[in-house]
Chain A
Amino acid sequence: MVCIRRCQIELHDNLYYATREIGRLYETEPVLHNYALCYALGLVDSDAHGTQVSEEHGYRYFCPEQVPRYQEHLTPFNTQELYITPARALSHAAVLHTWKYANNNYHVEMEKTQKNIPSFGRAKEIAPESLFEFFVISQKPLALPRWIRLGKWMSKAEVKVINSQEVKKSATEQDFTFPYPLNPLDVMFTHQVFSYDVINMPPVSLIAHARIRGYYYHFADLKIPAQMQYRFQAD
């Protein structure tokens, strides 16, 4: 038996992260990656959730290099049989904002730029009160924080558990369609994936409306793929 929770996130501030960079426009797709959610929900390197990582990759205030450590950080989730799905927008609005660097001097003279890099740009952000939905699949009960922070601006958002259900894995492998976003890396090793729409975003593009074959959990009127795990390489 596993417990599946349907959760909602309501934004209380503008949400920004760069899904796409088009010249000086940085665009935020109204989809939250499941890697990002794991960090935002405070599940990475947590004593309470049994997801500690080695000291060397520990989650610290100071990051000596800008290299993500998804594999090191997320593999412990598998031993805890804990999985977070990507979140889709139930309703959202987008806003455009211009950003630029602040300068501390009293007097600024415009100089020719030395480097070919922008000091201002426009960011397409998701507006407050937009609503997202995702699923938490876990073996053990776990307490989710009520307030989390998302994206580059660390925007405040509220997390609500809408309903939860204890479910069993289906007895047989079957063909079914999952309409919401999935991380392809996490399902393709256990399921056959026939067709899907791609949602382009780094580091792993997501898929939606996937037609797949494999075991599933019956949750409300949905069939959610069973045995999803954070996978980074075939083994």
Chain B
Amino acid sequence: MSLLHSLTADQHKQFFHDEIPYKPMGKYVHFLTVRVTESYPLFQTDGELNKARVRAGIKPANAAPISRLTMFKRKQSTPERLVGRELLRSYDLLTAKECEYNVEFGKNNPDCIIYGFAIGDAGSEKSKVVVDTAFSIMPFDISHETFTLNAPYENGTMASKGEGDSEVGKVTSRINSQDHILPQVFFPSIVTLKDPTEATFLYVFNNLLRTRHYGAQTTRTGKVRNQLVGVIFADGEILSNLRWTQAIYDHLQEQGKLTTVDPLDEDEVMSSAQLTLDELLSEGYVVSTNFLGESFKPLLQEVKALINDATSMKQLLEQADQEAKAYAGKHIKKPEAKAEKTTSNKPGRGK
């Protein structure tokens, strides 16, 4: 039974598998998104924001390197996974006990099968979702700001009025500073799903649309919106995030839209993202069906309608769950009782 009606029966057959295959079969779907920051997120690992020094654009005129903010792949895929897992739990398809992220994988639910897991002796499932590091279009120096943080007293000031054991009038030294990414910073990013079934395609699509927070979670400031540019079904890999970002930079520069004072205009970024894609895709060597611009609208509308409705959402999750269970039953061998459970501690794939 098909959930999507904006695709023809032939397209269904061409793009999706009937069941999750156990071998890579060469079907790919690429979700093209521009991740737009809407508050002040933090992507950092070593106490400072992640950045990379790369060429500004593809054109020889823009060959000089700039520092760009980066969003590591695991910082993109982890929140998306967690959103999916939360939903599975809220629809009673997964209990907190059965499967806990990076603690105890259930190995038979859509999250484990689609995004993979690795448990030392008990085997590993390769992730079917692959994400690339995303790079900001604009340079690091104009995409971040240093904030001073303080922890005021109950009275709202930094001077004590005698709270707790403190001395009246004493000024607190609870002050720190932290770099934050500014709002309206754009990260073009392609999320690739290998060998989709219709349900796994929708599962990943839903995770992408619903995830609104990335980066350090405790700061409560990581609002990021995934603005979808399109979906491409292909028989191989398409361009990289870096190439796409550099092409957008070139294009915006040509149009004279790169100013160092104002943030980029979202409409201009989106139209530039789409225009450059058309060009870059024509250089590739893959057979693809592109849903971009006008042709993407009906598909996106339908997916949005599907995931906005409790009945169809439940149906979709159940479908994905059944497929995952069927796959696990068929292809994932039960670990032998003697095998002691150990968790691999090397950095895993795509975590």
Contacts and interface: CB of A to CB of B under 8 A. Distances in A.
Interface of A: 12-14, 16, 18, 21, 26, 58-66, 93, 95-104, 117-119, 121, 123, 127-129, 143, 145-149, 152-156, 158
B8 interface: no
A145 B236 CA distance: 8
B144 interface: no
Contacts of A148: 237
B255 interface: no
Contacts of A143: 285
A14 B123 contact: no
* Top 7 closest pairs, chain A to chain B, by CB: A12-B240, A147-B237, A12-B242, A104-B101, A156-B240, A98-B45, A64-B123
Interface of B: 21-24, 45-46, 50, 52-55, 72-74, 78, 82, 85, 100-103, 116, 120-121, 123-128, 130, 132-133, 236-243, 284-285, 331-333, 344-351
A59 B284 CA distance: 26
A147 B190 CA distance: 13
A18 B348 CA distance: 11
A11 to B, nearest CB: 9
B243 A62 contact: no
Contact of A127 (B53, B126, B132, B332): B53
B333 A64 contact: yes
Contacts, number: 135
Nearest to B21: A61
B82 to A, nearest CB: 6
B345 A62 contact: no
B22 A97 contact: no
A103 B104 CA distance: 12
A62 B237 contact: no
A185 to B, nearest CB: 25
A104 B102 contact: yes
B102 A102 contact: yes
Contacts of A118: 345
B46 A62 contact: no
Given A58-B23, A153-B74, A156-B241, 18 more contacts: A13-B133, A26-B346, A26-B347, A66-B344, A95-B52, A97-B72, A102-B101, A117-B345, A127-B53, A128-B133, A129-B242, A149-B130, A152-B348, A153-B73, A153-B349, A155-B132, A156-B132, A158-B243
